[in-house]
Chains A and B, each alone.
Chain A
Amino acid sequence: MADFDTPELKDFLETPALCPGAMEHSKPFVAAPNHQEDLGFPGELVENWQEKAIDRMGELLDTNRALRVYLDSCVKCGACTDKCHYFLGTGDPKNMPVARQDLFRKVYRRNFTTAGKYVPWLVGAEDLTEEVLDDWYSYFHQCSQCRRCSVYCPYGIDTAEISMAARDIMDHIGVGQKYSNEIIGKLHKIGNNLGLPEKALANTLEGLEEDIEDETGVAVKMPLDVQGADILLVTPSADFFAEPHVDGLIGYAKVFHAAGASWTVSSYASEAANFAMFIGSQAQMRQVAQRIYDAARDLGVKRIILGECGHAWRVAYSFWDTLVGPFDFLDPAYPHPVHICEYTDDLINQGKLRLDKSANDDMTLTFHDSCNVARATSMGGRPGGQFEIPRNVIKAVCNNFHDMADDTIHEATFCCGGGGGLLTDDLTELRVKGAKPRMQALNAVVEDHGVTHMAAICAICKSQFSKVMPYYGLEMDAIVSVHQLVSNAIVLEGSIQEEELDGSAEDEDGAGDSAATEVTVASED
């Protein structure tokens, strides 16, 4: 399948032997001049790039206090060294978070600290040479900005912030990454990462409406650009395009239908993702978020609901208000923003959804916490809600659920291996190796508890897993959307599924009783 070896899964996760330089060759394609210029960055490496890079570093240090604290406070305790999935999967010591940070820190020390300026050899300070830049490009594109290391750092140093800053500096001197920058440019022009134009979006949604009607006998709508709708659904464009994402989208539509909600998708803001976070560009991040703000205001919606997208939920939850807020035109009676899992969970708790758990009896589920949701947000307005709510939804629609090991879930979750702008074919080796810790944990519950499927609430995770699972001997469709499970279980009024459960309208006697017992909101294991 590829010219590298897939890591072997053992009984437990080992800290690998060090293999210096093992991943030195791993570099994503460099952005073409037009990808760069579309975002206002220089097309190629500028002449005085060293000077420009240090200038930009200075600007970032002035505007981002946390960055300076992260650079100053590391005491080299080593707590982070074995926490990165890319280190665990590759053994390359530069994938230890502290070593990755030091690629940046040494340049910072040389240029922004007194000791580094006068006695660089004493404090590990170095100039930004061509060699160092080369290392930056390679290893700052081997960080998925998942922030697992920061959970274990006694100082809370956030490597993601450092890798974002490094990528921002590289963009400013003309060395951007093709995958992320091309996508952001596409979003500016067309409204989503895929480049799905309005006509194709409308056609796709119509096709999905037909599919749902074929399956359920109910005309569930997927409204587009409906002025005055109550809810704007903003979801990753992969939900319109890829598997198993699209099954999740069908699930949201069925939930909205069952709740009798007035909702719409916007063709102008047909993307939840905000890849500008990955490249550390606040200006780009604002521009991307602005589209959603404008669409919501122009459509006159009362609330915005986010679909299953990990980093989009982080941007919405943590940054929207600062970037483009206040969203004072929304109805203050609702929380803002709302995650689709919160919405569905709420309906389940109110008993408003009829669910037939047995529809998912062919699966035993586990849940993969996506990094950005797990470590950068919450749900339900309570601590830990981001862990509980998706699991509550799964347990309400499935009979068989088993969590993976404690040190691989919740805030200790392992990245899928494809986050942070690394979900690109030119990084396949990195993605496969970086998935090892998650695959190891999954494999353990597959073997010990008969788990057959893993559910996730992030488009990147879903695509990454369907690509890398076959390398580890798992089927590509062993990854499912949480709302795909909801979609399977939900019994819509007047549907074929309802008729199967209750019998046809003619023999309705007693159907009411049996229906009531099938409305299940329990959430035991």
Chain B
Amino acid sequence: MSAASSVATPMAGSLLVLHPCRWMHRFIEHTGEIQVELEAASEVGIFEAALEAFAELASADGDREPASHRIELATPDRALLLADWLNEFVYLAEVADFVPGTITAFELVGDQLRATVAGHRDHPRQLVKAVTLNDLELTEVDGRWHGRVVLDV
């Protein structure tokens, strides 16, 4: 799949970011952590929405030196694959100061996810410690895909 053409500028503090016809993410009230709800017209869109949610949390005003990372994941459990996808960004933010921007290549075949993500080096603003399995969800209902993750912050 090609890169999304409509990646919006992250809106700090926003509760809802909509991308017409494609995907959206929103942050849900959670006393201790950050809960993210994802919705998309396709399963792949859920992964794009997750990337955008993470980018909104992490983006700061750093040097914005361009960077790109290849991601390869495998698990038969699609909800876990979503958690793993976000955990890659948690890891890259910590060890490479990487903030994701757009997906430049994406392949989801069987248990395998292969992607290249372009973004920039920054000083990530929000420390996301991990992606939890609490209330983790990736489902399709009436042709719409829904995802839910709780991030430990």
Say whether A associates with B.
no
Listed in ascending order, the chain B residues whose CB lies under 8 Å from chain A are none
Listed in ascending order, the chain A residues whose CB lies under 8 Å from chain B are none
